[in-house]
Amino acid sequence: MEDLLQEGDVFSLNIVATPAAPKQSVAKKKPKNNKYERRRARAARARGETNRESRGTTIETPATGKQKKAVEYEENDKEPELIESEPDDDESAVDLQRDHASVPQEKAVQKRDSLQDPEERAKYMAEFHARPLELDRRFGATTKPAITSKDSSHLFATSAEWPANLLHPRLLNTLKTSGWTRPTTIQARAMPSFFSNDDNVMIHSETGSGKTLAFFIPILSHLAAKDQKVRCEGTRCVILCPTRELAVQTFDLVETLSSKTFNWIVCGQLLGEEKRKSEKARIRKGLSVIVATPGRFLDHLSRTECLLPALTSKGPLEWLVLDEADRLLDMGLGEQVKSIFDRIQQEAKSKTWRCVLVSATVTASVEELALKTLSGKSENWVRIRANEVDKATLISTGKDESAGEEALVSSTPRQLAHHHVTVTAKLRLAALMAFLVPRRKERTVVFMSTCASVDFHHALLTKMKSLFGDESSGIFGSDCNILKLHGNVPHSERQHVLKRFLKENQGAILLATDVAARGLNLPNVDWTVQYDPPSEVSDYVHRAGRVARAGKAGNSLIFLLPSEKLFLEVLKRQGIKNMNALSLTETLNVAAKCCPELTSSGMRRSSGGLGNTGKGSSSSRLGEAFCWEMQHRLEECVNEDQNLPKKSSYSVTKKRMKAQEDEKTLETLLDIAQNAFISHLRAYPTREKVVRQIFAAKSLHLGHVARSFGLKEPPSRISNKKRKVSPPVDPRKNNATFDFKASQVLSESSKSSKGKATPKSLLLENASRLEKNGMDAL
């Protein structure tokens, strides 16, 4: 071998090796779909990286033990961090948390990146974190209001008296002795139409102008003109009202006026406050005039046999009045009204009645519904307006000449001063308190969108300690009664609430929903505050119309977010143009002067951030100190009882269920705040089509909205809470929803299991038999 190498010849060596047996490929298990993998995938999508397989990256997951990730990378390749995309600052954390729950991760990252842009961030800060001075400057608010409310006598007709040739002498004497010395404009114009012909009447006038007397005085005079014996036989007039509160108020006026003049005209009310048996007894005795709500009246038409003959054969019916007609026809009660007309027309041989529609807001859609739904002796309608420019005209079609532009200009009193204030969501609650502090000795009605919101604010204001050192409960002490009124308040308490609110020489704040917005006559009310904007544009008029009634002065205020400023343009197009921008800074400053101790506490809490308490302190800083200290105390009041026991859950045992139903368990204020927050979010986008884009839920900052309900907890945790499970119901108790075969199966299974536990096989057998019979729901 050495000789061959030394000779320099080329030598090649072939080495043949037997290949080893190929290894069987083991299928790799796919990585589990756990939270770590999802986080890694979201982080990769956020950075826009390419597929890891193209970069030589492999992920292996062992089959046993704790899951570990062995990641191999090329040289100079760093391991990515397993983080979620989070905001760069604390201010937008809640906003991005809202986006993470509702939109894909890519959109959340885009929103975070957009906030890094100086222009986008400035826009974000101006919309959600603007100071009171900046809001006032942007929306043109001034410290001194440009519009003031003064008493006015424009409602009363000039040189007009009650028509002696039309009204009964006894009725004229009663009107003058009761204080109605001269008629209003709408009353003077309406009376001739009731006596001239048989046409239907439509009364359209502003709030507080005396529309109830405008239709009832001529009806009462017409009823008294005939023989006394004929009047007692049947029902001649029916007045329908949308709410019980308005029906009670109307009945009091009707009964007072008829009892002082013609005692043989008997008036009655069908409101559901009494048992059906007692109401049925009054109908049997005879009622000449009935004041009712549509639901209760329809219930008596279907169950009380003596009511239909009283309306058709004994009477017959001569007048059918719809008070607040737009609410009755166009806002949820139209089917009930239509059913009432259908029942009366089926029983009556001929149409003997005349229809009367009364409202402050009558639109073209309401007139079309009236022409399609209502019909009386004549098909013609006479519209009567209080505006001097408009004249009474016969209406043969359902078109409203004033619809569209300036449709609400004739629905609000001239002396009513309209105000609006722009507040960010996180300052709303403190700003409301600042507005009410100097007006605690006046009468104010605060309108809110939901019953849960009314309950929360009432519980919060009554639980808070007095700001003025008073030992009595309530944030305003003994100077002010804080009351609530909404659809869930028992009917027996509603009249008591209204009496307490109208108590003389006592300040009061009434927190209410739209139940109190229609027709109620609340004398000596100074302010109406629309804390939540109305769902219908026309409801703004009815809410604001609780003040400035009968020519007296009154003020109205509406709270708006910066994103809701276009709502003012909608009101301007409807004719409400002169709206004063109330200064938020001045409102906070006045409240700060009324509560110096609370303001000083806010200065100390800010550690000098809002200035000092000396004479050189800025007035705007004093208002902000009051605002933040008030917000802090409200939040502490909401969250201080969060560790108390809550409502106990229902048990399956019947005895425990009955005991828990009888036991009165109270919710904590934190639970009430959370329910109010959720109900507010659900009700916010439920607006009519004209303003639906203005009130978009996407424009809300949910963290700031939560602060307006005194909540410190992030909104995502509130929305992810488990819902309360309703108690189980025994299916044998609700036989109306089951088939005969299903009930037979249940009876057989109960017999077989009597005295012993039901075996599992028998339960499965019964379930399969129910499925065959089409009873899968069981």
pLDDT in tens, 457-484: 999 999 998 998 777 778 998 889 999 9
pLDDT score of 249: 93
pLDDT score of 274: 86
Instruction: Tell me which H or E stretch contains 395.
Output: strand 393-395
Q: Which of 175-179, 264-268, 756-760 has the lowest mean pLDDT?
A: 756-760
- Left (φ > 0), alpha (ψ -120 to 50) or beta: where does 272 sit? left
> What does the alpha-carbon distance between residue 532 and residue 512 come to, in Å, rounded to a whole number?
11
Q: Which of 45-54, 239-248, 519-528 has the lowest mean pLDDT?
A: 45-54
Query: With 60 as the cut, is the pLDDT of residue 607 above it?
Result: yes
Q: Which of 194-198, 275-279, 582-586, 734-738 has the lowest mean pLDDT?
A: 734-738
> What does the alpha-carbon distance between residue 244 and residue 292 come to, in Å, rounded to a whole number?
8
Kindly report the three-state secondary structure assignment for every residue of 427-476: HHHHHHHHHHHHHCCCEEEEECCCHHHHHHHHHHHHHCCCCCCCCCCCCC
- Left (φ > 0), alpha (ψ -120 to 50) or beta: where does 471 sit? alpha
pLDDT grade for 365, boundaries at 50, 70 and 90:
confident
Query: With 60 as the cut, is the pLDDT of residue 82 above it?
Result: no
Q: State the chain's mean pLDDT as an integer.
A: 76
Give the residue with greater pLDDT, 333 vs 537. Answer: 537
Q: What 3-state DSSP class applies to 555?
A: strand
> What does the alpha-carbon distance between residue 266 and residue 288 come to, in Å, rounded to a whole number?
5
- Dig out the tokens for 505 from the structure: 């020489």
Q: What order of strands is seen across the sheet that includes strand 443-447?
A: 480-485, 507-512, 443-447, 527-530, 554-560, 416-422, 579-581
Most confident of 96-100, 105-109, 162-166: 162-166
Give the residue with greater pLDDT, 731 vs 626. Answer: 626
**Torsion angle defined by CA atoms of residues 29, 34, 39 and 44, in that order, rounded to the nearest 10 degrees:** 20
pLDDT tens by residue, 703-729:
999 999 999 876 665 554 444 544 554
The CA–CA distances, whole Å, from 560 to 11, 403, 423, 654 equal: 98, 26, 6, 50
Instruction: Tell me which H or E stretch contains 769.
Output: helix 760-772
pLDDT score of 288: 92
pLDDT grade for 78, boundaries at 50, 70 and 90:
very low
Query: Quick check: 261 and 174 in contact, CB under 8 A?
Result: yes
Phi, psi at 768, each rounded to 5°: -65, -35
Query: With 70 as the cut, is the pLDDT of residue 309 above it?
Result: yes
Helices (H) and strands (E) in the chain, counts: 31, 17
Q: Is the pTM of this model over 0.85?
A: no
Kindly report the three-state secondary structure assignment for every residue of 598-641: HHHHHHHHCCCCCCCCCCCCCHHHHHHHHHHHHHHHHHHHHHCC
pLDDT score of 28: 52
pLDDT grade for 46, boundaries at 50, 70 and 90:
confident
Query: With 60 as the cut, is the pLDDT of residue 255 above it?
Result: yes
Beta strand pairing status for 70-71 and 237-240? unpaired
Give the residue with greater pLDDT, 176 vs 108. Answer: 176
Inter-helix orientation angle 118-128/105-116, to 10°: 100
Give the residue with greater pLDDT, 591 vs 642. Answer: 591
Residue range 650-659: average pLDDT? 46
Closest CA to 130 of 122, 119, 141: 122
Residue range 580-596: average pLDDT? 94
Q: Which of 78-82, 98-102, 416-420, 468-472 has the lowest mean pLDDT?
A: 78-82
Query: Quick check: 518 and 327 in contact, CB under 8 A?
Result: yes
Give the residue with greater pLDDT, 321 vs 360. Answer: 321
pLDDT score of 650: 40
Q: Which of 164-178, 531-545, 652-666 has the lowest mean pLDDT?
A: 652-666
Residue range 83-97: average pLDDT? 38
Query: Quick check: 475 and 637 in contact, CB under 8 A?
Result: no
Q: Is 7 exposed, middle or buried (0-12, 13-18, 19+ CB in 10 A)?
A: exposed
Inter-helix orientation angle 566-573/537-544, to 10°: 80
Query: With 90 as the cut, is the pLDDT of residue 120 above it?
Result: no
> Which amino acid is residue 72, in one-letter code?
E
Give the residue with greater pLDDT, 367 vs 442. Answer: 442
> What does the alpha-carbon distance between residue 264 and residue 258 come to, in Å, rounded to a whole number?
9
> What does the alpha-carbon distance between residue 200 and residue 351 come to, in Å, rounded to a whole number?
12
What count of residues does the chain have? Answer: 778
Give the CA count within 13 Å in the CB-facing half-sphere of 109.
13
Residue range 358-385: average pLDDT? 81
178-185 long-range contacts, CB within 8 A, separation 24+: 178/257, 178/260, 180/213, 182/156, 182/157, 183/156, 183/157, 183/210, 184/155, 184/156, 184/157, 184/209, 184/210, 184/214, 184/386, 185/154, 185/155, 185/156, 185/157, 185/160, 185/209, 185/386, 185/388
Structural domains in the chain plus CATH codes: 93-138 (no CATH), 169-395 (3.40.50.300), 416-638 (3.40.50.300), 654-719 (no CATH), 731-772 (no CATH)
Query: With 90 as the cut, is the pLDDT of residue 773 above it?
Result: no
Closest CA to 461 of 190, 444, 449, 191: 444
Q: Is the dihedral of CA 422, 94, 692, 105 positive or negative?
A: positive
Q: Which of 39-53, 166-180, 192-206, 321-335 has the lowest mean pLDDT?
A: 39-53
Residue range 607-618: average pLDDT? 56
pLDDT tens by residue, 216-227:
999 999 888 765
pLDDT score of 406: 53
- Dig out the tokens for 771 from the structure: 């499925």
Separation of first and last alpha carbons in the chain: 96
Residue range 533-545: average pLDDT? 92
User: DSSP label at 356?
Assistant: E
Q: Estimate to the nearest angstrom the gap between the alpha carbon of 478 and the chain centroid.
A: 29
Q: Assess whether the previous peptide bond of 316 is cis (omega < 30° from 0).
A: yes
Share of the chain above pLDDT 90, in %: 39
pLDDT score of 673: 93
pLDDT grade for 308, boundaries at 50, 70 and 90:
very high
pLDDT score of 744: 44
- Left (φ > 0), alpha (ψ -120 to 50) or beta: where does 462 sit? alpha
Residue range 530-537: average pLDDT? 94
pLDDT score of 331: 65
Share of the chain above pLDDT 70, in %: 69
User: DSSP label at 406?
Assistant: T
